[in-house]
Amino acid sequence: MRAAAVAPAMVVGLLLSPLFPACSACPPEARALVERPDYATPESAGRSFFAALSCDDAEREYRALGESLKRRYGATFDVYLLGRERLREELGDFVLRNAHRLRPVRREVREDGVVVGYAAGGAERVALLFHRQDYLELRTADGRRIGLPLPAPPGAFLRLEGKDLALELRARDPVFRGLDPDEVVAVVLAGEWKLADVASDGAGDADASEAAPER
């Protein structure tokens, strides 16, 4: 009876195992980035994404994606879980197995964003396109965080009036409906770099004249 109960689980495991190529064990430095991801620059955003890959943390992978990529692979986290394999196939087996070893070696500023090339083993393996996402976040006394994307960097909404710094932002959005201003305990204006696309398969070595040394 016990063997019969275990067998279906073993069969399911065998069927699913080819779908997700084995990643290397999650090292401590990758785990630290998973716990405290850094989206301050394109380079650090990429490393945070690769840390989530190496630790097989789907939720943090999803958080590193920009809005356009979320729409492609699943606009919500639940849908992303179904489409996650397509993104992993696009990245390739080498990137999945060596995600925590990838280091930024070049940066290219383009009209559609910033491309960062990542290398491991002396060669560039993948290039990622990043977009900056600026946002306003209101934090309330009961712990809620109400976010709103901004159409321009935060500085566009700040104005210096003598010695005073004024914030002027006009927003009509249902997310603010029913909000009591007296309950707001913090206002955050910030920007994050998020993964917008896989720019290349990274085949071949990075140009030594343009590439920074691996760190």
pLDDT at 17: 36
Query: 149 has which bridge partners?
Result: 135
Separation of CA 91 from chain center: 14
Q: Which residue has the tokens 């760190």?
A: 215
Joined together, the tokens standing for residue 199 give 């720019």
User: Is the distance from CB of 103 to CB of 202 less than 8 angstroms?
Assistant: no
Residues 112-138 pLDDT 10s: 899 999 999 999 999 999 999 998 888
Q: Residue 34: its pLDDT value, please?
A: 95
Residue 198 pairs in a beta bridge with: 128
Amino acid at 131: H
Position 156 confidence tier, pLDDT thresholds 50, 70, 90: confident
Residues near 200 by Cβ (< 8 Å), separated by ≥ 6?
Answer: 117, 126, 127
Instruction: Please give the C-alpha separations between residue 168 and each of 43, 158, 160, 179, 193, in angstroms, as whole numbers.
Output: 31, 6, 11, 18, 24
pLDDT, position 14: 34
The one-letter amino acid code at 77 reads F
